Structure 1
Amino acid sequence: MQLPMPRFDRSQILVVGDVMLDRYWHGETSRISPEAPVPVVNVEQTEDRAGGAGNVALNIAALGAGASLLSVVGDDEAAGVLRGQLQAAGIATRFQVSGDKPTITKLRVMSRHQQLLRLDFEAPFDPADSSEFAEAVGQMIEQVGVLVLSDYAKGSLADSQTLISLARQAGVPVLVDPKGTDFSRYRGATLLTPNLHELEAVVGACRNEQTLVEKASQLMSELDLQALLVTRGEQGMTLLRPGLPELHLPARAREVFDVTGAGDTVIAVLASSVAAGYSLPEATGLANIAAGIVVGKLGTATISGPELRRAVGQEKGVERGVVSVEQLLIALDEARQQGEKIVFTNGCFDIIHAGHVGYLEQAREQGDRLVVAINSDESVVRLKGPSRPINPVERRMAVLAGLEAVDWVVSFTEDTPENLLRELRPDVLVKGGDYTDEQVVGWEIVKAYGGEVAVLKFYENCSTTGIIKKIHEKSQ
C-alpha cells in the first residue's frame, strides 16, 4: 500500500470530549529530603500542554487541517491557559464552564526525562456540565467532515448517543477513542479505536488472530459499527471491518520513548485523512506511521504535516516490520495474491554487522519480499551458550526491521526454523556460507512443495563472535 499525502487543508474536524491541562515541572535531582526518603527536585522549568481532546485538536491543527473543539472546563486559571494555547494554534474553541468543578489538570514532576510524581486535580463532570453539547454539535455538524469523540471517562461525553445520532443524520463519520467497558454508549459510530487491553475488557481475552476477528465482528454487529481499529503496542494495529479481511499493520521500528498521547495522534490522523477523502485502510496506514513518530517524543506531543510527509516518503510500504506468525501468514497471503515471490532466511543476528547487511541485500534480490526469522533468546542460549545473546530478541528484531532489504521479521522458539518453514512455505530458502543445498536446515521441506534453496556469498572476516572477541581484546 503506497500512500500519497492527503490535502489536510481541505479537512474540517469537530472534536468533542474531555480536555485537560498537562503540566510539567522539570528540574535536577541531587539529594534526598531530610524530611522523608524522597528526592528533592529543584524546579528550573515549567511547561503547559493541552491534553486529552485538546491534544487531539492540536494534532489535527499541526497536520494543517481545520479543528474545532467542544469541551468542559472549570472557572479557573487552567481553563484560561488551555483556551489561550488552543486558540493560538488556530483551533475554534468552545468551552462549557462548570461552576463547581475544576479544569482537569495533571501535574508531572520530571527530572532527567524521568517522571518522579504525578498529581491529578479533577472531579468527574455530570450531565449538566455538558448540557449545551447537543445544541452546539447541531449548529456545527454541517460544516465538518468528521466528528471525533475523545473519551477519557471524565464525564464530558455523558450524552454521546445524541451526538452520534446528529452526525449520522448529517452523513458525517463518527470516530471514537473509547474508554471503559460499556461500548454500547458508542452504538452507531463509524469507527472505534480501542487498544487491545480495552477491547479485551469488553469482549474477553483474544489469544490469537482468529479469536480477535470473531469477537470484534460480533461487537461490530451488536453496536452497528462500520469498523474497529485495534491498537496493539509493539504488535502494531489491526483494522477490522464487517465482511472484509483484517488489515494488520506492524509497528514502526523505532525506539519507544513515551507512549503518552499516542492514541490522540492516531485518531487525529485518521480523522484528518478520512475528512480529506482517504479510505479507512489508507488512513490507518498513515496513522500507523504517525504513531511510530510520536512515541519517540516526550509527553503529549503532536506531529506536523511536513514531519508526516517526510516519513511517508521514506516508506517502501506500510505493511513492513515486526510481526507475529499469524500476522505474517496474512501478509504473505496478500503478497502472493499480488504475484510476489517470498524469500526466507533465518539466524540469531545477535550483533548486526556489515556481513549481515550484505547478505540480506543479496537475499532480497532472490525475490520480491524478504522474511527474516530469528531465534528467540532461549534458543540462542541453547545454540551459543549462556553468554549469548548480547542483545534481547526485541532489539534484534527492531534493528533488522529497520534495514531496507527486510520486509518482515518474526521470531521462533525452536532451535531450527523447520516448523516455521512448514507454515510459511516460502518460495526461496536462502543461507549464507559454504554449504550444499542439502546441508541447509529445512531444505527438504522447501524442496518437497516445489520451492528453491539458494546458498549465498559468505562474507569473510565478518562474524558476531569475532566482534565480541575484538571488544574483549580492546577492553583489556
Structure 2
Amino acid sequence: MSSDLLDLIDRWKSLTVLVIGDAMLDCYLTGSSDRLCREAPAPVVAIHQRQDIPGGAANTAANLISLGSKPLLLSVTGTDHEGDRLRTALEQRGLSLAHLLQSDRATLAKQRIMAGSQVLVRLDQGSTEAIAGDLERTFIDQLIAQFPLCDAVIVSDYSYGVLTPRIIQVLADLQARFPRTVVIDSRRLENYRTVGVTAVKPNYEEAIQLLGLPKQLQNRAEQIAPHGDRLLAITGAAIVAVTLDLEGAIIFEAGQPPLRTYARPVPQNQTSGAGDTFISALTLALATGASTTTATNLATSATAIVVQQPGTTACKAEELCQAVIDATSRSKLILDQSDLATYIQQYRAAGQRIVFTNGCFDILHPGHVTYLTQAKALGDVLIIGVNTDESIRQLKGIGRPINPLSDRLIVLSALSCVDHVVPFAELTPKNLIRIVCPDIYVKGGDYTRETLPEAELVEELGGDVRILPYVDNRSTTRLIHQIRTLHV
C-alpha cells in the first residue's frame, strides 16, 4: 500500500496544473515587544525580521510546485512595491511569472505584525473591485490558451475582483469542451454550479452560509453531516470537501456515505494557508486517478505537515512521502497488548473518551470505513481489536482470512479515524476490553445487545454498548462470493 501511494505522488511530476484566482502577498513582520507606546495602550514591536510569502492563489501554486507538479499561475498584480515583492517570492520558489498579469491595480497584500509567535494585528490592502474590461479580455485570452494544455485546474477565488462572471462563464465553456479535473476554492461556490466541477472545498463558515445554518463552536461535523446531498446540489460538484479546522474535514460524494478525517490541534496562528495545501494535494491525487478516500487522506496528511510550521507554508513532496512511509510503519499505532495499557493510562489522564471495537476486517470496504468513522465520532480515541489469522480460521473456517494480519493492521492504521490497532488471538476480545475499559464499545448492525458476549463485561467496567448500522450491500463475505463467481 505504501509503494502504491509513493508511486501516485511520484506521478504528480507529470502533471501541469493551471491555478487561476486572487494572488496575494503574505508578509510577516516579526519582532519583540516589552512595552506599550505612550500615545495609546498598544504594544511597541521592534521588528527584526520580514518574511514575504506567496498567499492566496499564489500559495496554491507554491504548494503545487513543492509537491512536484508544474503549476501555471494566471492572476493579476499591480506594478507596486508589494507586487514586486510577490514576484520575487514566486521566483524564489521556482514559479514562472509568464502568466502573472500586471495592471494599475494595487496588489493584494496581508501584513501580519507579530511579537514572537503571536499575531498582534493584520493589515490588509489592495484593489478588490472587478478587473477592468481590457485586463479581463487579456485574462480570458490566457485562460483559453492554457486550459487545454493542463491536466487540472484550481480556482482560488477570494472575491477580490479577478474572477468575474464572464471569466467564470468562459471557464464553464472550456470545461465542457476539454473536460479536466477542476477543483474550486471560493467564497461564492454557487457561482460555479454550471462549470462541471470535480470538487469544491468550502470551509465551515462557507458551508453553513450555503446551507443557511447557524454557526456553532463544537460538533460542526455532526451539524454538516446530514446536508451532504444539498451541498452537492448547490455547488454542482461531484465531491464536496468541507474543512472544519480543529475537527478535520467531512467529505461528501454522490452515492457514498460521508467520509471523516481528523486533525491534530495546533495554534490558530499556524493554520494560515492550510486550505491551499489541502486543495493542492487533493487536486493532484484526483488528477492521477486516486479514489476520493485516498485523495482525501493524502490531502489531510499534507495539511498536517504544514500546520506544524509557523506562517503560510507549502508541503514538500518528500515530506508527504515520508509521512506515507511513517503511516505505513505505524509503530505508534500498531500496538501489542503489553504497550496498550501505557497508552490507555495517558488517555485517561488527559480526560479523553475511548471508543473500542473489534473484528476481522479481512477485506476493507466502504461499509467498514463508514462504520469506523461513525465509531470515532462517538469519542476522542478509537482503538480496534483485530483478530489474528488463526482466530479468524476458527471463526470463519478454512480459506479465511484472505489478507494476513500484518496487511490488515497496516490498512486499518492508515485510516485517519483510527488511533490504534491491536491484534488479539482469543475468539472474543474480553482481555482487551479489560485493558481498555472503553467508555463506548461499538459493534455493527448485525448484532444486538443480547447477542454480544462482551456486552455484560463492558457495562460492568462502566462503559456503554452502541450498535451502529452497517451500509447496505457491503460485506466481506459478499465481496468474496462475487470474486469467486467471476472465476467460475
Calculate the TM-score normalised by the size of structure 2. Answer: 0.67
Q: Secondary structure at the match of 1:87?
A: helix
Q: Note closer, same or farther for the CA distance 1:205–1:420 as it changes in structure 2 (3 Å cut).
A: farther
User: Secondary structure at 2:257's aligned position in 1?
Assistant: coil
* Residue-by-residue CA offset, 1:94-129 (whole Å, 9 max, x unaligned): 122232x21011111111110111111122131424
Q: Distance in 2 between matches of 1:152 and 1:75?
A: 21
Aligned to 1:467: none
In structure 1, the partner of 2:54 is: 50
Gaps of 5+ in 1: 353-359, 369-399, 407-414, 447-476
1:44-443 alignment to 2 at 5 Å?
Answer: 44-93=48-97, 94-99=99-104, 101-128=105-132, 129-158=135-164, 159-180=167-188, 183-188=190-195, 189-205=197-213, 212=224, 215-251=227-263, 253=264, 255-256=266-267, 258-316=270-328, 337=367, 364=385, 417=439, 439-441=460-462
Amino acid corresponding to residue 191 of structure 1 in structure 2: A
8 A contact 1:147–1:167 mirrored in 2: no
CA distance in 1, matches of 2:385, 2:56: 43
Shift of 1:275: 2.7
Match for 2:5: what amino acid?
Answer: P
Q: Distance in 2 between matches of 1:306 and 1:428?
A: 46
Deviations 1:10-56 (A, max 9, x none): 11100000011111111111111122111111111111111000000
Instruction: Tell me if structure 1 keeps the 8 A contact 2:441–2:458.
Output: no
Q: Is the 8 A contact 1:11 1:145 kept in 2?
A: yes
The 1:210–1:21 alpha-carbon spacing in structure 2 relative to 1, beyond 3 Å, is closer
Q: Which residue of 2 aligns with 1:383?
A: none
In the alignment, which of 16, 25, 30 is matched to residue 26 of structure 1? 30
RMSD between aligned residues: 4.5
Question: Residues 33 and 185 of structure 1: is their aligned pair in 2 closer, same or farther, counting only changes over 3 Å?
Answer: same
**What count of residue pairs does the alignment treat as equivalent?**
384
Give, in angstroms, the shift of residue 336 of structure 1.
9.0
Summarize deviations over 1:343-367 as a string: whole Å, max 9, x none.
Answer: xx99xx99x9xxxxxxx99x84667
Q: CA deviation at 1:246?
A: 2.2
Deviations 1:265-310 (A, max 9, x none): 0111112222333233321110011111211111111110010011
The letter of the residue matching 1:4 is L
Aligned equivalents of 1:54 and 1:281: distance in 2?
27
The residue identity in structure 1 corresponding to 2:179 is G
Q: Distance in 2 between matches of 1:445 and 1:14?
A: 47
Identical pairs, percent = 27
Higher deviation after alignment, 298-307 or 253-262: 253-262
Deviations 1:430-452 (A, max 9, x none): 79xxx988843459999xxxxxx
Deviation track 1:151-188 (CA, whole Å, cap 9, x = no partner) reads 111111112232232133111121000114x6134433
Structure 2 gap ranges (5+): 334-346, 390-416, 424-436, 468-488
- The one-letter amino acid paired with 1:38 is A
Secondary structure at the aligned position of 2:66 is classed as helix
Task: Check conservation: 1:269, 1:287, Cα contact below 8 A.
Answer: yes
CA contact (8 A) 1:24 1:109 kept: yes
Measured after TM superposition, the shift of residue 90 of structure 1 is: 2.6
Cα distance in 2 between the residues matched to 1:444 and 1:8: 45
Between 1:291-300 and 1:160-169, the stretch displaced more is: 160-169
Distance in 2 between the 1:213 and 1:141 partners?
34
Distance 1:428 1:84 in 2: 65
Shift of 1:317: 10
Q: Structure 1 residues 336 and 441, CA, compared in 2 at 3 Å: closer, same or farther?
A: farther
Match of 1:4 in 2: 5
For 2:305 and 2:59, the matched residues in 1 are separated by: 16
CA distance in 2, matches of 1:324, 1:437: 14
> Is the 1:20–1:103 contact (alpha carbons within 8 Å) kept by the matching residues of 2?
yes
SS at match of 1:4: helix
Which moved further from structure 2: 207-216 or 307-316? Answer: 207-216
Measure how far apart 1:338 and its partner are.
5.8
TM-score by length of 1: 0.69
Q: Are the equivalent residues in 2 in contact too, given 1:421–1:442 (CA < 8 A)? A: no
